[in-house]
A and B are shown apart, each in its own frame.
Chain A
Amino acid sequence: MPSGEIHGLLGPNGAGKTTLCKILSTVLLPTSGRAEICGYDVVTETAAVRRLIGIVFGGERGLYTRLTARANLEFWAALYGLHGADARRRVDALLERLGLERRADERVETYSRGMKQRLHLARGLIGDPRVLILDEPTIGMDPVAAEDFRWLVTSLRSEGRTILVTTHDMSEAEAICDRVTLIDNGTILATERPSTLGTWITRYARVRASALAPEQVAPVVAAVSEISGVADVREISPGTLLVDTAADGAAPAVLRRLLELGVTDVATTRPDLAEVYLRVIGNRGMRVDR
C-alpha cells in the first residue's frame, strides 16, 4: 500500500479480513508469509510497528465502560508515552474532533453505539499513528452515524495517514477508499479502484417486478429472457418475478421492456457482496488469482 492511501479490504465472513488486520497490528502471528509496516517486520520488529500503528476494532467491546471517555483516552495516552499536559492536550483535541467533548466526563456505558465507535477511533488515534487499521468500523451503526464516521476517516487521509479499512459494505468501500482488495480464504482475489466496484454493482443489478396478473407471467418471462445481458428470470412468488442481469446496460433495458408490457410495479436492487463474489469473482477464472 502506498503511503497516504485509504485501502479497503472486502470479503465475506471468514474471508480473513480481521485476521489480516490482527497480523498487521502484531496481535496475531502469521502461520506463513511476511508483512511489513513502514519497512518494519510485524513479527520480528513488533515494538517499532506498535509505535506506528493505531487499530480500531468494530463493535462496542474493547472500551472500559465504567470509566469516562476522558479516562479511557488518558489510559491509552499513557500507554503511548503521553503524560501531563501533552496527554491532556491530545485527549482534549481528539474528544473535540470526534464530537465527544460535551460528554467526555460521562461513563462510556451511557454512550450510544455511534459514540462508542467514535471513542474507539479516538483511541486508535491517540498515538498519532502513521498507519491506521480499521476493522469494520461502522458495523452496527445507524446510517447517519456511519456517514459521519466515513467523513472522519476521509479527513484523516488529508493528514497523510495511511488507512486500511475492512468492510462488508460495498457502498462504504466506494465512498471512502482509493483502492479496494477483495479477499477470500486468506487469499487476495483482486485489487481494484472503487469505480470498478461501481461497474460490478451496476452490471449485476437485479430487477424485481411485482403484482403481475397470472396471465402476464409467461409472456413477461419470455420477453425479458430475450434481452441481451439477462442471466436469469424466475417467479419467486405468485405474480413476482426476479430478473438477474449480467451485463452493462441490461437492467435499464429490462425496466423499459417491463414498462412496455404494462408492468409498473418494478424495483431494482444492488447485489450484496456475496452475490458479487459468486458472480463476478467466480466468473473471472484465472485472472482473479493473479
Chain B
Amino acid sequence: MTTAILPRTAVAARSYARGVSAGLRRELRELRRSPDRLMALVTAPLLTLVFVAIMLNNGRDDLAPYAVLAPALLVLWQMALQTSGDTVEAERENGSLEALVAAPSSFPAVIAGRILAVTAVSMLGFAESWAVAALVGVRVAIVHPGVFVGALVVTAFATACSALALAALFVRTRAARAFQNTLTYPFYILGGVMVPVEFLPDWIEPLTRLVFLSWSSDLIRQSLLPGPVQGLAEHVVAIVLLGVVSCAIGGFLIRLALREVRESGTIGHA
C-alpha cells in the first residue's frame, strides 16, 4: 500500500511545487508590466505623510510606530483584497482558466504562487512607510529586530492564505467588487490597523481575535516599542493558525468552485 501511495504523493507534490513556482514567476513578470495593479503601493507614502503630519501637529511623537505601521498594513490588506483576490476571476475573464485546468500542474498551486508573489510585493509598503517617515524626520527604531522580521514572515504567510480564501470566495459568489468594497474598513478596524484593538469596545474584542491582522499589528507594534514583547508565542501561533485555517478554507473552496463549474459547464463564463 505504501509503495502505491508514495509515488502518487510525490507526483502530486511535484505538480504542486511546479504550479507554485510557475505562478509566482508569471505574477512577478505581470506585476512589473501592470502598474495599475500596484496602486496600493502609491497610496502608502501619501497615507504615511498624513498620519505622521497628524501625529507631529498634536505633539504625539510616541505614536510614531502606529503612524508608520498603519499605512504598511493598509497596503498589505488592500493588495490581498484587490490584487490577490482577483486572481481566479481574472483567469476566468481572460479566458485562460480552461487551459490552466487542463494543464498537468495543480491549478490551486498556480493561484497560490501568484498570491505569494503579490504578497511579497505588497511587503514593499513597509519599506515605503519607513522611508517616507524618515524623510520628514520621523525615525522609527526597530527595537526587537528578530521579532519584527518573524512577525513580518508569519504575517505575509497569513495574508497569502487569507487572499487564497478571498479569491475562492470571489469566484464562487461572482461578486468580487462588492466584497472588495465592503471588506476594507471593517478589517482595518477589526485588524487594529488604524487603532489598536484594546482601544475598541470590549464586545468587539472577541471578533478581532478571529482576524489575523489584529495579532499581526499587535506583534509588529510590540517589536517597535521598548520593553519586553508580551505573548510572543501566543501571537505567532494565532497568526499561523488563522492562516492555516484560511488556507484550508481557500483550497477547499477553490476545488469546490472548480468542480461546480466543470459540472455546470460555466467554467469559461466571463
Indicate whether A and B interact. Answer: yes
From A126, which residue of chain B is reached at the shortest CB distance? B103
Pick from A50, A59, A63: contact of B102, CB under 8 Å: A50
B104 touches A50 (CB 8 A): yes
Per-residue contact bits, chain A 149-190, to B (CB 8 Å; 1 contact, 0 not): 000000000000000000000000000000000000000000
Q: Answer yes or no: A76 CB below 8 A from chain B CBs.
A: yes
From B103, which residue of chain A is reached at the shortest CB distance? A79
B65 neighbours in A (Cβ, 8 Å): none
A76 to B96, CA, bound (A): 11
Q: Answer yes or no: B25 CB below 8 A from chain A CBs.
A: yes
Per-residue contact bits, chain B 101-132, to A (CB 8 Å; 1 contact, 0 not): 11111000010000000000000000000000
Q: Answer yes or no: B30 CB below 8 A from chain A CBs.
A: yes
Q: A62-B94, A67-B33, A78-B21 are known contacts. Are A27 and B102 too (CB-CB below 8 A)?
A: yes
Q: Answer yes or no: A127 CB below 8 A from chain B CBs.
A: yes
A22 touches B98 (CB 8 A): yes
B65 to chain A, nearest CB (A): 38
A79 touches B110 (CB 8 A): yes
Q: Answer yes or no: A123 CB below 8 A from chain B CBs.
A: yes
Q: Answer yes or no: B143 CB below 8 A from chain A CBs.
A: no
CB contacts under 8 Å to B, within A6-41, are 19, 22, 25-29
B96 neighbours in A (Cβ, 8 Å): 61-64
From A77, which residue of chain B is reached at the shortest CB distance? B22
From B93, which residue of chain A is reached at the shortest CB distance? A61
Q: A55-B102, A62-B95, A123-B99 are known contacts. Are A79 and B265 too (CB-CB below 8 A)?
A: no
Pick from B21, B26, B259, B263: contact of A71, CB under 8 Å: B26
A51 touches B104 (CB 8 A): yes
B29 neighbours in A (Cβ, 8 Å): 67, 71
| Residue among B26, B98, B102 having the largest count of chain A Cβ atoms under 10 Å | B102
Q: Answer yes or no: A47 CB below 8 A from chain B CBs.
A: yes
CB contacts under 8 Å to B, within A185-205, are none
B268 to chain A, nearest CB (A): 8
B98 touches A75 (CB 8 A): no
A107 neighbours in B (Cβ, 8 Å): 33
A185 to B265, CA, bound (A): 15
B99 touches A62 (CB 8 A): yes
A57 neighbours in B (Cβ, 8 Å): 95, 98-99
A103 to B19, CA, bound (A): 27
Per-residue contact bits, chain B 1-22, to A (CB 8 Å; 1 contact, 0 not): 0000000000100110011011
Q: Answer yes or no: A219 CB below 8 A from chain B CBs.
A: no
B18 neighbours in A (Cβ, 8 Å): 78-79, 81
A80 to B25, CA, bound (A): 15
B134 to chain A, nearest CB (A): 34
A19 touches B33 (CB 8 A): no
A66 touches B30 (CB 8 A): yes
Residues of A in contact with B (beta carbons under 8 Å apart): 19, 22, 25-29, 47, 50-51, 53, 55, 57, 59, 61-64, 66-67, 71, 74-76, 78-81, 107, 123, 127
Sort A-B residue pairs by CB-CB distance and give the 8 closest, nearest first: A61-B95, A78-B22, A62-B95, A79-B105, A79-B103, A25-B102, A75-B26, A66-B33
Sample of 11 A–B contacts (CB below 8 Å): A22-B98, A29-B259, A50-B103, A50-B104, A55-B98, A63-B96, A64-B26, A64-B30, A67-B26, A67-B29, A79-B105
